[in-house]
Amino acid sequence: MIIEQIHLDNGSAIGLKLDMEHAPLLVIRAKKGFVMCGYLNMEVANKLGDAAVRVTGVRSFEDVLDARAVDVSAAAKKMGIAVGMTAKEALEMML
């Protein structure tokens, strides 16, 4: 597992990367929410009330930051985060 501090304009987040059999599992955690790769489930994030953004087709932290949100939890929507926004933009709002 790789744990890395991700520097953003408004502060820092923590990146977690776990190499799986065919693709990495990636999460970047900010103070008020997180961005996750396609391995993780938005239904569960909504059930738990988490502010979450899902991106797909990513293999590195840089890919995650540049990727556009394909799914956004209800809690993230309340923060002003929307589908189509970059993960970096969403994370800045979660700091």
Give the domain ranges of the chain: 2-94
Report the pLDDT value the prediction gives residue 7, as an integer from 0 to 100. Answer: 97
pLDDT category, 25, cuts 50, 70, 90?
very high
Q: What is the pLDDT of residue 55?
A: 98
pLDDT at res. 62? 97
> What are residue 86's phi and psi, to 5 degrees?
-70, 155
Angstrom distance (rounded) from CA 80 to CA 40: 22
Domain made up of 2-94: CATH architecture: 2-Layer Sandwich (3.30)
pLDDT tens-digit map of 27-74: 999 999 999 999 999 999 999 999 999 999 999 999 999 999 999 999
Q: Which residue has the tokens 């738990």?
A: 48
Q: Residue 42, SS3?
A: helix
Across the range 7-27, mean pLDDT stands at 96
